[in-house]
Structure 1
Amino acid sequence: MAISDMRRQYSMGSLTEKQLTPHPLTLFKMWLQDAIDAGIPDPTAMTVATVAANGQPSQRIVLLKDVTEEGFVFYTNLGSRKAQEIAANPKVALHFPWFFMERQVRICGTAEKLSAAENARYFFSRPKDSQLAAYASKQSQPISTRELLMTQFHQLKEKFANKSLPVPDFWGGFRIKPHQVEFWQGGEDRLHDRFEYNVDDAGNWQTQRLMP
């Protein structure tokens, strides 16, 4: 079968005005819990899109680590490509591809660094091997072989076998503060339900239905 001929109906649900909540992150957390309860793989996985100085967009998958009415949190090496691009341009887009449930959520917002206390709290909650990996990998930098990376990891593991690691100063988190959030629910005959939240100058959220 040709790729152009592949299609199916989307019939798992609908999204109506009555289901919307005053704040989009309230609805987001409900949808996230639905994804968790459904047992879909990696329900917290999200695409993070940033833009380089030359205008080239870049995307990668990271894991959501917290969500409140203030925004969406993830952690990374501060020397990574995404962190460097955020430092130059804090405008970021997120995407949650819950296609197993015929749903997706798209977010536009501004990234801000987390405090040292927030970084430390999460870093020390991670398994020790994950902490070691943060030190072993200079994320986004070239490396000649995987064996070299593993050697660095095991050397660190031996060095810190009986002691705690300090929080690395090259590692931390970002909070994406949203100003636009879109909820997409697949519909039959490609008549999908789409609702977009936008924050106004007074900080209030306004909603509108979008054509599919």
Structure 2
Amino acid sequence: MASDVASLRVHYSNTPLLESDVDGSGSPMPLFRRWFDEAVRAVLREPNAMTLATATADGKPSARVVLLKGYDVDDGSFVWYSNYDSRKAHELAANPQAALVFWWAELERSVRVEGAVERLDSEASDAYFASRPRGSRIGAWASRQSQPIASRAVLERTAAEWFQRYDQVEQVPRPPYWGGFRLRARRIEFWKGRANRLHDRLSFEREQVQGVASQQWRLTRLQP
């Protein structure tokens, strides 16, 4: 029998998110760091998982889950890695704006991030690629992400050929079509579940100085 979707419901605690939780600098990044560290300490499954939303040049959206692999408290940026021939990479090339969503259900917390995206330089991508498990490095050569494939068997056969090719190679090089992205946040919103759906939402937006984003942030409390 099908589930009664409408009756699915979670009752949140009444633990608050207050303006006093924000760092004295006014930046949202120290609060993000604290929340992220608490998600890691809570031993949540893949606390660095985040939904990445992109759109085509004419505004058709798509979303998927990727893994955060770095963030910078000083400049408010977030880093992940992917295949540059993937759908998301093509959409970011045509429309270099994106949104991220972190969801830590057990902590009743979510963070939304919006901003412009750029590719990392080759040195940064090389350094991260070299830190990956060997199997993941070879797998990056075997997968042409988002491209059609006839069957799982074709993928496994291709992967076996690449594993054989690099069997005696100590350092697996980074594929030229694989690397990193950096989103520089212009808006970050923190959400904390509260009782009776009266949730707390604190939104930070970068101040503009002569049309250029600054390091100063404007804090606004939003209605739930």
Which residue in the other structure is 2:29 paired with? Answer: 25
* Contact 1:102–1:186, Cα closer than 8 Å, also in 2: yes
Unaligned regions of 5+ residues in structure 2, if any? none
- Equivalent-residue separation in structure 1 for 2:5 and 2:148 (angstroms): 35
In the TM superposition, residue 55 of structure 1 has moved relative to its aligned partner by 2.1
* Contact 2:14–2:195, Cα closer than 8 Å, also in 1: no
Does 1:108 find its partner at 2:114?
A: yes
The 5 A counterparts of 1:151-190 are 151-163=157-169, 164-190=171-197
Does 1:198 find its partner at 2:198?
A: no
- Equivalent-residue separation in structure 2 for 1:111 and 1:10 (angstroms): 34
**TM-score computed with the length of structure 1 as normaliser:** 0.97
> RMSD between aligned alpha carbons?
1.1
- Equivalent-residue separation in structure 1 for 2:69 and 2:43 (angstroms): 18
* Contact 2:55–2:62, Cα closer than 8 Å, also in 1: yes
Unaligned regions of 5+ residues in structure 1, if any? none
Which residue in the other structure is 1:46 paired with? Answer: 50
- Equivalent-residue separation in structure 2 for 1:13 and 1:130 (angstroms): 40
| Structure 1 pair 41–12 and aligned structure 2 pair: CA distance change class (3 A) | farther
Kindly report structure 1 stretches of 4+ aligned residues shifted beyond 6 Å: none
- Equivalent-residue separation in structure 2 for 1:128 and 1:26 (angstroms): 33
**Any idea what SS the aligned residue of 2:125 has?**
helix
Deviates most, 133-142 or 155-164: 155-164
Which residue in the other structure is 1:117 paired with? Answer: 123
**Any idea what SS the aligned residue of 1:135 has?**
helix
- Equivalent-residue separation in structure 1 for 2:161 and 2:10 (angstroms): 51
Percent of counterpart pairs with the same letter? 41
Deviations, residues 19-67 of structure 1 (Å, cap 9, x unaligned) = 0122111111110011011111110000000002342100000000001
Aligned residues: 212
Deviates most, 160-169 or 194-203: 160-169
* Contact 1:49–1:59, Cα closer than 8 Å, also in 2: yes
* Contact 1:12–1:102, Cα closer than 8 Å, also in 2: no
Which residue in the other structure is 1:2 paired with? Answer: 4
Deviations, residues 113-132 of structure 1 (Å, cap 9, x unaligned) = 10110000000000111001
Does 1:207 find its partner at 2:219?
A: yes
In the TM superposition, residue 12 of structure 1 has moved relative to its aligned partner by 5.9
- One-letter code of the match for 1:10? Y
Alignment partner of 1:150 out of 145, 148, 156: 156
